[in-house]
């Protein structure tokens, strides 16, 4: 009896995993991402406001108060409309990974960075069009300028090499609820220094660098795992329970 139950439960687990698909979107405003999905913005905010082009679009830096006048916090907004249009209407997003590509500089310093979910998906943070829309804040610390936020996690920035991708799971209940709601088609994240010394340096929305295939896909990215047909999984689960009852 125990072997029969184990076999059915195991089959259900495999079916759920096998049915999951992954799609990635970049916070990239241009067509440089080639065949990938991508539309969004990154903002590096200093005391005098959003850092404008070209450095403000090419680079995305989070620096603590030790950086003095260069201290800054950042925001990323992903336009999810292309993702929602590319996955089934009844799909359920089950996992989310934030991918940040290192862009090392002489001033890069290892340290910790806070990541929060913002409730403000409307304020324009595009450095190309809105430099100065967000004011800075003393010491570069985030001052709640993008509405109420929910803490997601504290991530580590550890220098390895320019072009290396740091992956961070951000699949909290709040993030999954925001994405599965699909209400406004955007996801806005706030990143600020968790310690005074950190100088986390990443590539921004308009990276001048290319990958091995010649595509510029090194802007911050979201890797989304979703189940295309949750109804089918549910039906399979019910069928499995019925099978167990019949075998008893």
Q: Got the DSSP string for 151-169?
A: EEEEEEE----TTPEEEEE
Query: If you search the block for the tokens 């997601």, which residue do you land on?
Result: 152
Please report the pLDDT score of residue 222 as a whole number: 94
**Domain interval for residue 240:** 18-247
Sign of CA pseudo-dihedral 16, 97, 76, 176: positive
What pLDDT score does 9 carry? 25
Within-domain flag for 12: no
Does residue 11 form part of some domain?
Answer: no
Residue at 5 is within a domain: no
DSSP E strands, 14-144: 21-26, 37-38, 40-46, 49-50, 59-63, 73-79, 92-101, 111-118
Is 2 a domain residue?
Answer: no
DSSP state, residue 174: H
Query: Does residue 194 lie within any of the structural domains?
Result: yes
Alpha-carbon gap, residue 89 to 176, rounded angstroms: 16
pLDDT in tens, the chain (248 residues): 332 222 222 222 333 445 899 999 988 865 444 445 778 899 999 888 899 988 898 899 999 999 888 899 999 999 999 899 999 999 999 999 999 999 999 999 999 999 999 999 998 898 888 777 888 775 556 778 888 899 999 999 999 998 899 999 999 999 999 999 998 899 999 999 999 999 999 999 886 665 555 555 588 999 999 998 765 455 445 444 544 444 44
Contact of 203 with 103, CB cutoff 8 Å: yes
Number of structural domains found in the chain: 1
Residue 127 belongs to some domain of the structure? yes
Q: Considering the domain boundaries, does residue 8 fall inside one?
A: no
Buried b / exposed e across 67-100, counting CB within 10 Å, b at 16+?
beeebbbbbbbbbbebbeeebeeebbbebbbbbb
C-alpha span between 229 and 178 (Å, rounded)? 19
pLDDT at 7: 26
DSSP 8-35: HHHHHHHHHHHT-EEEEEE---SGGGTT
For residues 117 and 178, the answer to whether their CB atoms sit within 8 Å is yes
Is the residue at 136 inside a domain?
Answer: yes
């Amino acid at each position: 009896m125990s072997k029969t139950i184990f076999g059915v439960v195991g089959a259900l687990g495999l079916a759920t995993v096998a049915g999951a698909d992954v799609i990635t979107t970049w916070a990239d405003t241009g067509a440089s991402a080639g065949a990938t999905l991508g539309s969004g913005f990154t903002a590096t905010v200093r005391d005098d406001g959003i850092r404008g082009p070209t450095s403000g679009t090419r680079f995305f830096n989070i620096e603590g108060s030790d950086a003095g006048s260069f201290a800054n916090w950042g925001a990323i907004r992903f336009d999810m409309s292309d993702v929602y249009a590319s996955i089934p209407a009844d799909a359920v997003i089950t996992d989310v990974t934030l991918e940040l590509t290192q862009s090392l500089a002489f001033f890069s310093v290892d340290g910790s960075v806070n990541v929060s979910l913002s409730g403000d998906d409307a304020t324009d943070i595009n450095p190309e069009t809105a430099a100065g829309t967000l004011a800075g804040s003393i010491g570069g610390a985030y001052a709640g300028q993008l509405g109420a936020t929910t803490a997601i996690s504290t991530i580590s920035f550890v220098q390895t090499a320019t072009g290396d991708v740091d992956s961070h799971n951000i699949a909290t209940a709040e993030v999954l609820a925001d994405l599965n709601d699909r209400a406004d088609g955007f996801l806005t994240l706030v990143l600020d220094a968790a310690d005074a010394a950190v100088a986390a340096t990443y590539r921004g929305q308009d990276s001048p660098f290319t990958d091995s295939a010649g595509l510029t896909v090194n802007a911050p990215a979201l890797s989304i795992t979703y189940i295309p047909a949750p109804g089918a999984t549910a039906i399979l689960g019910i069928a499995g329970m019925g099978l167990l009852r019949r075998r008893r």
